[in-house]
Structure 1
């Protein structure tokens, strides 16, 4: 069984570990901590009721997360990172987490959500488009390795 809950300070290391194994250029732990402490109401984790992660020495039950922030437009939320552990992908958990986030930001009074995604991340792009996000533009050389990003926005 899985559940979504608000992220806690104790989750920062486990979220960082998942960020690190998911992305080629992960956010540093210090940045994840900063995001969380600035926006605790916009950071959520997806966890199992037992530790199911392969060859893990940790007791982490976190199999996914979403880190949100506030954009320069105060009425717009910004998804800074979203990840699902590789062993749990293609089971609908990313969609579940994204739907939960959309519901929460609506409750908080936001009018839109933006995010950036690698132009090669077709799985994520398909998810965002199925959820109603619209591609706004391409941001050239957005990522450290020079890859472009698409900017997406969802009007709530």
Structure 2
């Protein structure tokens, strides 16, 4: 489960408190994570979806910069720390049952958020109306701002 959850955040209370209360009581999943959706604060463009553990969420709140939990590296990740594309939080919201957060950010450096070198991780469209097994992705806003990382 999540050893740091109880230490860093109060436990969720009643459903009414969770949905209508004024306390942040995140509902971390069995893996100890909440989903984090990140968008550009000015344009509203969806930039990325990642995950946060209790420490990443606490550091984001305390520093005003986005921190995530890398599931592949199993490590805390300060977004932009090595690339210069620090995500500064303009506003953070929590969803109705507090198991997801939405970060509205400004991005430093060249403005990219995707490790492929693009502004957004969502650079391919999925057409609908055909056979699922034959679906081909359609590039959208696919220009790279810089070379890909890793």
State the structure with more CA Rg. Answer: 2
